[in-house]
Amino acid sequence: MIFVDTGAWVAIADKNDQYAKEASQQYTSFILKKERLVTSNLILVETYNLLSQTIGAKATIRFGNILNSTNLVRVEIITKTDWDRGWKILEKYDDKEFSFTDCTSFALMERLKIRTAFSFDAHFVQYGFTKIPPTILR
């Protein structure tokens, strides 16, 4: 399984994103390899909020409807346990610039035993996960 982070979704949806080409190629590769992709409801909230500001509501809705209609991506709801664990991660790593959404993502990945994130965010590597693509870091 591969966890898909906000930056990857934004880059897939927004052709003007600096990582759009890389993200689209990687996503296509995942689909062709039939990788199991997982994201969270909080990641989608972040994604849709950002996309509404950059590509507009109509394009965001089209993108969201595509994600909602595919069986290639599993959306996990952040549980109370994930929320609490995320908070503990945030407290423990207060010297990092992890967002609370990052921390709930880490908690979800730990719970589901996912070791790899499709992300352009260095925080996943800082926390100890593998990141795809490995060299591009925001």
Q: What local confidence, expressed as pLDDT, does residue 131 receive?
A: 94
Domains of the chain with CATH codes: 2-132 (3.40.50.1010)
Helix (H) or strand (E) holding 66: helix 57-69
Q: Measuring CA to CA, how many Å separate 54 from each of 17, 82, 115?
A: 9, 29, 30
As a whole number of angstroms, the distance between CA 23 and CA 17 comes to: 9
pLDDT at position 135 over 90: no
Bridge-based pairing of strands 116-118 and 130-132 is parallel
Average of per-residue pLDDT values in the chain:
94
Strands (E), 70-136: 73-76, 116-118, 130-132
pLDDT digits (tens, 9 = 90+) for 23-74: 999 999 999 999 999 999 999 999 999 999 999 999 999 999 999 998 889 9
Closest CA relative to residue 109, chosen from 7, 6, 2, 30: 2
